Amino acid sequence: MNMKQYKSLSFSLLFILLLVSIVMSTSLGGVTIPFQETILVLLGAIPFVETITDSKYETILLQIRFPRVLVAGLVGAALAVSGVVMQSLFRNPMADPGIIGVSAGGAFGGVLAIFFGVTAIGTYMIPVLGFLCAFLTLMFVYLVSTQNGKTSILTLLLTGVAISSFLSACSSLLISYANLAQVQQILNWLMGDLNGRDWEHVQLLFLPVIICCIVFYFYRQELDILLLGEEEAQNLGMNVQRTRNILLIVASLLTGVSVSLTGAIGFVGLVVPHMLRLLVGPSHKVLIPASILGGAIFLILADLAARLVVKPSEIQIGIITAFFGAPFFIYLILRHKRKELS
Amino acid sequence: MTGIVIEGLTFKRKERFIFNQLSVTIPKGQFIGLLGPNGTGKSTLLKMMVGLLKAQGHISINGKAIAQLKTKEMAKLISYMPQVTQLETNFTVEQVVQMGRFPHKTRFSSWSQEDTRKVEEAFELTGISHLKERFVPSLSGGERQLVYLAKVIAQDTEYILLDEPTSDLDVYHQVKVTNIIHALVKKGKTVLAAIHDINFSTRICEQSLLLKDGIVIDFGDSDQVLTKENMANTFSVNAHIYVEEQTKAKQMIPLEVKV
């Protein structure tokens, strides 16, 4: 089997897996709906496709579960692709939107919105504030770690760690002043929560995610070349500083929008890109689309697990991703250490 | 006006002058060895010529000031191979060599026949076609150097700067890299290489540029640059200079430190 066939096969597999996970995640939950019926209802929702439309499950499927699955898919794709881009920018397999502090910024925005009750204006205030804080965090981290137009990667990562701790301390402080109902809501937020995500969320996510992914795909060659090192990239005629700025801002926007709508879901940007690099290789031409599919699959399945493990209740999706992601992060550190020692 | 013209180049690092009003013209179509003691700024000079470091003064390539050139235009004119390469990602050899074509492409241009031809040429010249599918981090130091050289060749620039291209290589790879550079010069390329082995440089380079304390001590045919006086002035050693019979190249044996 040559390289091209292998890659087509990988993509076909990912695509099939995505469809299967969408159907599974839409069917299973508090009420179990037969797969066949789910497929017919979902197909019936596509314009001009005629199937049965009088299923008694139609409301659950189309108004509750399916939009939630879509949100999970979009956010998964967004976080995974942001992870890919940040890892290439920092030339470090451990870089991730969570690590440079952008996720913490987004989450803190959400806590602020709940605490000060601005959600009374409209629930959309949570994403707006979340996004704003994510962006401000990025700008702050960036300004602190950039000197003479150059960013030291070590300083950037350390600043990210510091700002993350600072923002979670602020969140904790707000929680200790909050009333019981707010505490519950905030905790759900901080752990990453997909409960009650509906078509409005899908609409808010759809365009930013698609546009940002397209921008990244445009920069696939630059991302490859950045992995050779910045001097090499400049030798090859790339405007490194400008490329890096654009990619950093777009990656943070993508993270900010996602985190502001679902809370901080950790480790997706770490686990998914790493596994897909093993499957399709490091070239961004294939890694970016593969991560979009893989991130979507990962979060859709994580969400399904979050709904099934303590059925009929459910746990936050952030718990599931942390259970997979944290050991994985430690595994990466250990491997890195072994490499350094040998 | 062809060649690389450097005028009044001044560069300080930690209050110490690396270059003080350095002026030199690198002619076209030659293989020039850049010689000088450690810390004399050989790598720094190469980096300035490709715009990786900025300094006071003026550098122009083929009459165009590099400060005015866009990075992409520059990358079509001059390429640079650093001493240490630091790729840890599992790109294949072919993928890395193909990256050399980046300056010749726009965001929306697809891979052209010209690109394929240049990449094939680079593989032919370096003789590493058998490594195409291998991952770069799994290669030996010598093989990796050939891969990066192939990438520079695929970049297809008039001027090629190499920082210690042979320093960590075994003799087999040293000879191989030398032959590749000679083939490039024959094709009309200009190669400037920082080399710390004076005898090796004098054997393989047509011309030598001798630097010390940020000024040019001597620049000319390698045989004429390798003199007792130059060795004493540049490296502070008393040396015995002789002509090696086989290659007819001048060689030196450092005898003692000059007091």
Domain ranges of chain B: 4-257
Is B192 in a helix, a strand, or coil? strand
Where do the domains of chain A lie, and which CATH numbers do they carry?
Answer: 3-341 (1.10.3470.10)
Mutation target to probe the B interface, by most B beta carbons within 10 A, among A235, A241, A280 is A235
* Residues contacting A141, CB < 8 A, separation 6+: A100, A101, A102, A156, A159, A160, A163
pLDDT value, residue A192: 67
Contacts of residue A224 in chain B, CB cutoff 8 Å? 91, 95, 99
Mutation target to probe the B interface, by most B beta carbons within 10 A, among A236, A240, A339 is A236
CA-CA distances (angstroms) from residue B6 to B214, B215, B216?
13, 12, 12
B245 touches chain A (CB under 8 A): no
Q: What is the ipTM of this complex?
A: 0.89
CB contact under 8 A, B52 and A234: yes
Contacts of residue A231 in chain B, CB cutoff 8 Å? 47, 52, 82
Assign domain B4-257 to its CATH architecture: 3-Layer(aba) Sandwich (3.40)
pLDDT value, residue B231: 93
CA dihedral A21, A23, A27, A29 (to 10 degrees): 20
Overall average pLDDT of the B29-54 stretch: 91
CB contact under 8 A, B91 and A237: no
Backbone angles phi, psi at B252, to 5 degrees: -135, 150
Distance from CA of B74 to the nearest CA of A (A): 7
Residue B25, strand partner residues: B5
Burial of B16 (C-beta count, 10 Å sphere; 0-12/13-18/19+):
exposed
Q: What is the pTM of this model?
A: 0.87
CA-CA distances (angstroms) from residue B233 to B23, B35, B93, B237, B258?
19, 13, 43, 8, 9
Residue of A nearest to B87 (CA): A228
Asked if the peptide bond before residue A312 counts as cis, ω within 30 degrees of 0, the response is yes
Residue of B nearest to A241 (CA): B71
**Alpha helix (H) residue ranges in A281-316:** 284-308
Q: What are the tens digits of pLDDT across the range B59-107? A: 999 999 999 999 999 999 999 999 888 788 889 999 999 999 999 998 8
CA angle at B85 for the pair B81 and B90, rounded to the nearest 5°: 125
134-163 of B, contacting A, C-beta below 8 A: 155
* DSSP secondary structure code for residue A227 in this structure: T
CB contact under 8 A, B71 and A283: no
3-state percent breakdown (helix, strand, coil) of chain B, nearest 5? 40, 30, 30
**Best CA proximity match to A269, nearest among A17, A134, A76, A88:** A76
Distance from CA of B158 to the nearest CA of A (A): 14
Digit-by-digit pLDDT tens for chain A (342 residues) are: 677 888 899 999 999 999 999 999 999 987 888 888 888 888 887 777 776 666 778 888 888 899 999 999 999 999 999 999 988 887 777 778 887 788 888 888 888 888 888 878 876 777 778 778 888 888 888 778 766 555 666 777 788 889 999 998 998 898 889 888 888 877 776 666 777 778 888 888 898 899 999 999 999 999 999 999 888 999 999 999 899 889 888 888 888 888 878 877 888 998 999 999 988 999 999 999 999 999 999 999 999 999 898 877 888 888 899 888 888 888 877 876 676 665
